[in-house]
Amino acid sequence: MILGGVALVLTVALIYYDLRYYRLPDWVTLPAAAAAAVACVAHPAGLVGFAWPAAYLVPAGGIGGGDIKLAVPLGVACALAAGLIGVLLAAAAASAISLVAALAARKDRVAHGPAMLAAAWVVVLYGTWQP
């Protein structure tokens, strides 16, 4: 419960910061990425989540280093909640949300972090929900 509350507070802070400055601060993304990597020691299924940041390493432009660092903990969380399909769905949804936001705003530049965070929250909450 406490971890979820901390994650929610950090999510709000990251969304605000990315929308305002088009940056994701290292003081949040690096510790989160390190914690996700350590979590994979206890839960190797989380390693599948590294598919999300790996996809961003393909040279295409438009994705910043903060987005790649943020994709590590989000990918691991999605992998632990919903497996590879969850990771792929979150990454695809985040890209689609960012594309729609860019088209709607008629901008070449759009903050991708908020879309990543929203997509990951949906996958994690849905993936861990038990009827």
What pLDDT, in 10s, does the model give residues 35-77? Answer: 999 999 999 999 999 999 998 888 777 789 999 999 999 999 9
Domains contained in the chain, number: 1
Of the pLDDT bands very low, low, confident and very high (cuts 50, 70, 90), residue 131 is: low
Whole-model pTM?
0.93
Domain ranges, residue 43: 2-128
How many other CB atoms are found less than 10 A from the CB of residue 20?
Answer: 9
pLDDT tens profile 79-114? 999 999 999 999 999 999 999 999 999 988 899 999
Instruction: Using the predicted structure, report yes or no on whether residue 130 has a pLDDT greater than 70.
Output: no
63 to 1, 4, 7, 94: CA distances (angstroms)? 32, 27, 23, 12
